[in-house]
Amino acid sequence: MDPVRLRAATAGVLIALSAGLVAASPALDGLRGFSIDLLTMLRWRTFGDVRLPASSPTVVIALDEETFRTPPFEGSPSATWTPEIGRVLTAIIGAGAKVVGFDIIFPTSIEQSAVPFGDETLGARLRGFDRDYLRALALGGRAGKVVLGEVQHQDNPVLPSPGQRAAVGFGRNIRALNVYDDPDGVIRRLPLVFMVDGEPVPSLAAELAARAAGAPASAKVATAGAVAGTITLNFAGGADDIPTFSLADLRACVEKDDKDFFRRHFDGKVVLIGSVLDVEDRKITSKRFATAPEGARAERCALARPAVGQTFTRDSISGVYLHATAVNNLLRGDALTEFGRIGTGIASFALAALAVAAALALGPNGAALAFLAIAAAWSAGATIAFRDALAVPLVEPLSTALAALAAAIGYRLVVADRIMAAQLAQKRAHEAEMASAAAIQRAMLPGSRPSDVAEGQLDIFAHMIPAREVGGDLYDIVELDGNRVVITIGDVCGKGVPASLFMAITQTVMRLVVRSGGDFQAEINAANKLLVANNREEMFTTLFCGVIDVPAGTMTYCNCGHNPPLVLRRGESTFEPLHNCGPPLGIVDDISYMPRSIALAPGDMLLLYTDGVTEAESSQSAQFGIKRLEQTILEMRGQPARGVVEHVIKRVAEFAKGAPQSDDITCVAVVQNERRSDPPVRLGEPHCAEAGVRAVRS
């Protein structure tokens, strides 16, 4: 990995790690509760009501607006309702309810009133008013089926009246209704245990669930939430998950003596009696984004359903539903399980790492779209997990991931992109330099043919395709006089800039040394010595150099370790290779090269090439080879030099079929045209005068 990318990756890891640490810190505890609120809403909006109301282990008897408007309750204080509540309580217990809890407290009794009434107090005149209610409490208390509520407060606890406490057996059947407020004032948890006189005492919800199930809440439930000793409430959305009955309708049902109605709806249930009013005992809970108008919408027994109820949605719910939900969660075992700080930190680190990776790999717009996709996927997964009561962190990881995204984009814009821009400028400058070098190298090469050699009796065409910007192949066509032409082709070991520099040196040396062609052997030997001198990099060049005497119809050549050029005689189908006369130039300084000579008659063709032609590879790693090259030349028998070279290049490209070019490709074709004078006598077979010289290929 290059330094810039390594630096960016390191910065990205640090940003993501910082995001994870922040998410796991107490500073974001407020967002943990907000995540539960959002997930409660998302689950409800996505899946609707997960459970049917009839499956609820708990039902609610509501002291609701209907009760306040229905005789005999209408116009009378709630403290005077106790006889009617006692009658309903007796009917419920008689119908088979497992246990009845009171979320409403009557701290005084009308029998305690000291208001003067004639010669006596009002309480004295109404002595025995609560008798039926207290009897119902006593019977239910002795059977373990009644639990009254109290509100613990250090200075002024709110307790049931003394008569009610005595009726239920005092502390044996009285439990606390206190709730747990998060720092933002939202109720998401309910205590399971309170310490009273140094002893643990269950809360009302825990006591009701324990009596219904026959066993106390497990320690696992008490540690599943973020606050020890509490249960994290798993609210359903809407307002119909817990069946709710109006006290007014049930009182009329008692008058109707419909025992079957009570058995159908209360047998085996946990019953909570509490107020369901528009303004009193309202609580903001984690259900605040998933509420619906409340009301006693369970099946009616005696009274007609009120025509108008609550028609608008509040963000609060009646307090009785807190305890009813807690009891349901305990009995069903579906209280929420929350991630701890470590789990939240790991989740936040993972999302932040994805956001940072998107910011570093994509542009700001692409990174923003990637973050939205990540957020959508995470929210969907969290909603599905919440359906199974697992509260996966939502707001914390998404918030810290968004912050990490912004930090990574800022880093990229301020630091990384500046460095990358400098590198890009440097790369472009290098490319410009290489383009200039390639242009210079091309300028060193001659055109496709010299102008009017021996009055057009010699047709020459050359073409080179470098594998990189600059190459190590070379060719040269130099006209010594009006009748003689020097043709050179070579291949420097290696590729790229070093090979191109040595190629330039080789071409310059050959132009300086081979000037007359009179003593060709001495000129080649001199060129070799110059290339060997100060050759510390130990580079070398395979080279073929030939001097064509057009009027004489001969070519004197020296093959210095190069691919043997191919001669195709007029009217023949076999090739005459021009083999090596010595090793490549630049290796050994005391070698003596022995040139050879051949005849070139009208219609003869000479093809010079580098190993980039024969060693060109296909996508299956097969090589073009000498046989394919010969067949390709035969296909162009009798054609001009240009056509021959272009056909060879075409066949090589077709053979490679898009495979990357691994070496420079160079071709030079020479065609001897008709001469005006009789051709000279053809010389014998070429030979090498110096025995024992071994050809060396690059």
Task: Express each pLDDT in 481-490 by its tens digit.
Answer: 878 899 999 9
Q: Does pLDDT of 615 surpass 60?
A: yes
Q: What is the pLDDT at residue 123?
A: 75
The Cα–Cα gap between 173 and 324 comes to 18
> What share of residues in the chain are helix, strand, coil (percent, to 5)?
45, 20, 40
pLDDT, position 434: 64
* pLDDT band at residue 308 under the 50/70/90 scheme: low
Domain boundaries, the chain: 3-27+339-417, 49-337, 445-672
Q: Left if phi > 0, otherwise alpha if psi is -120 to 50, otherwise beta: which for 300?
A: beta
Looking only at the bridges linking them, the beta strands covering 554-560 and 566-568 are: unpaired
* Separation between Cα atoms, residue 273 and residue 520, nearest integer Å: 121
pLDDT attached to residue 693:
28
- Note whether 601 and 579 are within 8 A (CB): no
The rounded Cα 162 to chain-centroid distance in angstroms is 65
pLDDT of residue 495: 75
Average pLDDT taken over every residue of the chain: 86
Strand residue runs (E) in 255-295: 270-276, 282-284
Rounded to whole angstroms, the Cα distance separating 73 from 68 reads 6
Structure-block tokens of residue 241: 């998950």
pTM (predicted TM-score): 0.62
% of residues, the chain, pLDDT over 90: 51
435: pLDDT confidence band, cut at 50, 70 and 90?
A: low
- Are the CB atoms for 266 and 310 separated by under 8 Å? no
pLDDT over 90 (residue 222): no
Residue 531 has, within 13 A of its CA and on its CB side, a CA count of 33
Nearest CA to 275 among 283, 267, 285, 287? 283
Mean pLDDT throughout 576-590? Answer: 92
pLDDT at 632 over 60: yes
Rounded Cα distance between 444 and 508, Å, is 9
Residue 28 has which token pair? 């974001």
pLDDT digit string (tens) for 587-605? 988 899 999 999 999 999 9
Among positive and negative, which fits the CA dihedral 395, 399, 404, 405?
positive
Report the percent of the chain where pLDDT is more than 70.
89
- Strand ranges (DSSP E) for 361-430? 390-391
Bond prior to 72 in cis (omega within 30° of 0): yes
Angle (CA) 364-369-370 rounded to 5° is: 95
Residues 253-257, mean pLDDT to the nearest whole number = 94
Amino acid at 481: D
Distance CA 612, CA 438 (A): 18
Lowest-confidence segment of 488-492, 617-621, 664-668 by average pLDDT: 617-621
Distance (Å, whole) CA 354 – CA 598: 72
- The CATH fold of domain 445-672: Phosphatase 2c; domain 1 (3.60.40)
pLDDT tens figures, 507-526: 889 988 887 667 899 999 99
Q: What is the pLDDT of residue 691?
A: 28
Q: Are 453 and 546 in contact (CB under 8 A)?
A: no
Give bridge partners of residue 547 from the DSSP assignment.
486, 556
Q: Both tokens of residue 628? A: 């394919």
Nearest Cα neighbor of 359 from 419, 420, 404 is 404
Q: Which residues of 380-394 are buried (b: 16+ CB within 10 A; e: fewer)?
A: eebbebbeebebbbb
Cβ neighbors of 289 (< 8 A, separation 6 or more) are 37, 38, 40, 41, 315
pLDDT band at 675 (very low <50, low <70, confident <90, very high): low
Q: Which of 645 and 125 is assigned the larger pLDDT?
A: 645
Collapse the DSSP code of 556 into the 3-class scheme (helix H, G, I; strand E, B; otherwise coil) and give the result.
strand
pLDDT at 584 over 60: yes
Helix (H) or strand (E) holding 166: helix 162-167
d(Cα 494, Cα 179) in Å, to the nearest integer? 82
**What length is written for the chain?**
698
Contact 27, 18 (CB under 8 A): no
Q: So what's the pLDDT on residue 142?
A: 94
Q: Taking 50 as the threshold, does the pLDDT of residue 611 lie above it?
A: yes
